[in-house]
Chains A and B, each alone.
Chain A
C-alpha cells in the first residue's frame, strides 16, 4: 500500500467503516510509515478537539429569547391557519 492509497482510505479508517482485511492492510502500513502514522493521529486529534470544543454554545439567555420568539411565531401561524 502506498501513502496516497492510505490517505484515500483515511476517513473510512477513522470512522471504522471498512472490512477487516483493508483495515489490517492500513494498520500494516502504519507500522512502518511514520508520516502516515502522524497524519492519521493528528487528523484523529483534529476531529476530537473540534468535537469537544464547545464552540458556539448557545447561552441560556439567548436560548430563552429565541425559543420565546419561535413559539410566539408558531402560535401566530396556528391562529392564522385556524381562523
Chain B
C-alpha cells in the first residue's frame, strides 16, 4: 500500500522578492501574494469557522494583518506558514465569538483515545466517490468534518487538505510535532469511521 501523494507544489522562488517588496509598501506585490494564497486561506477559514460570512471576514482580516505586520515576518519560515498562522487565529477567534458557550481551543485535548479506535471495520466500495453526485458528496464530506472538534479538523485540513508538512503545521498552530501527529491520527481515524456508513461496500458491489 503506497503513501499518500502530495498535490501541492513548492512555492515559486520569487516569493521572497514579493514579500520584500510588499514589506516596503508595494501593494501590487502584496496583491500577487493575495492571488497566490486567497483560495487556501478561504478554505482553511471555512473549515474552521463552518460559516461562509466568517470565512470571508477571516480572509480579509488575515491578509490585512499580514500586510500591516510584514515588518515582523522574519523570513525564517515560509510566508505561507506565517499567513496560515494568522488566518487560523482569526478563524478561531470568530468561532469563539459565535459559540461563547463552548470552549474553542487547539489545546482542548480529548480525555480518551477511544474516539479513535476503529469500531466498524468494513471495506469500502471500489470507487466510493462515484456512489454520489458531486453535490451530495460535498455535503457528506462537509457534514462529516464538521463533527470533528476544531482542533482535530484544523490539523487535518492543514496537513491533509492543504498539504503542509508536519513541521509547518506545528509551526502554524504553535503545537509540538508529537501533538500534531497525535491529533492527525485521531482526526483521520474519526473521519474514516464516520464515512463508513456512506462508503461501505454494499451487497451487489463487485469485488476488485
Give the B-binding residues of A (Cβ under 8 A).
7-8, 10-17, 27, 30, 35, 37-58, 62-63, 66-67, 69-71, 73-75, 77-78, 81-82
Task: Say whether, besides A40-B1, A44-B4, A50 and B64 are in contact (CB < 8 Å).
Answer: no
Would A70 and B128 count as touching, CB distance under 8 A? no
User: Could you write out 9 A-B pairs with CB less than 8 Å apart?
Assistant: A7-B117, A10-B189, A11-B181, A50-B141, A52-B129, A58-B38, A70-B34, A77-B67, A81-B25
Q: Give the nearest-CB partner of A16 in chain B.
A: B3
Known: A67-B34, A70-B34; 18 extra A-B contacts, CB below 8 A, are: A11-B181, A39-B192, A44-B4, A46-B188, A46-B191, A47-B4, A47-B160, A49-B128, A49-B195, A50-B156, A51-B7, A51-B161, A62-B56, A70-B59, A70-B63, A71-B34, A78-B25, A82-B25
Would A56 and B42 count as touching, CB distance under 8 A? yes
Cross-interface CB contact of A42 among B156, B163, B166, B192, cutoff 8 Å: B192
The CA of A4 and the CA of B188, in the complex, are separated in Å by 15
**Cβ of B142 < 8 Å from any Cβ of A?**
yes
Would A56 and B185 count as touching, CB distance under 8 A? no
Would B129 and A49 count as touching, CB distance under 8 A? yes
**Cβ of B84 < 8 Å from any Cβ of A?**
no
**Cβ of B89 < 8 Å from any Cβ of A?**
no
Q: B116-143 toward A: CB 8 Å interface, digit per residue (1/0)? A: 0110011110001100000001100110
**Cβ of B20 < 8 Å from any Cβ of A?**
no
Residues of B near A66 (CB, < 8 A) are 38, 42, 56, 59-60
The CA of A51 and the CA of B161, in the complex, are separated in Å by 5
**Cβ of B27 < 8 Å from any Cβ of A?**
yes
The 3 A-B pairs at the shortest CB distance, nearest first, are namely A16-B3, A56-B46, A11-B185
Would B68 and A77 count as touching, CB distance under 8 A? yes
Would A50 and B4 count as touching, CB distance under 8 A? no
Would A67 and B38 count as touching, CB distance under 8 A? yes
The CA of A7 and the CA of B163, in the complex, are separated in Å by 22
Return A38 CB to nearest CB of chain B, in Å: 5
Would B122 and A38 count as touching, CB distance under 8 A? yes
Would A41 and B1 count as touching, CB distance under 8 A? yes
Q: Give the nearest-CB partner of B160 in chain A.
A: A47
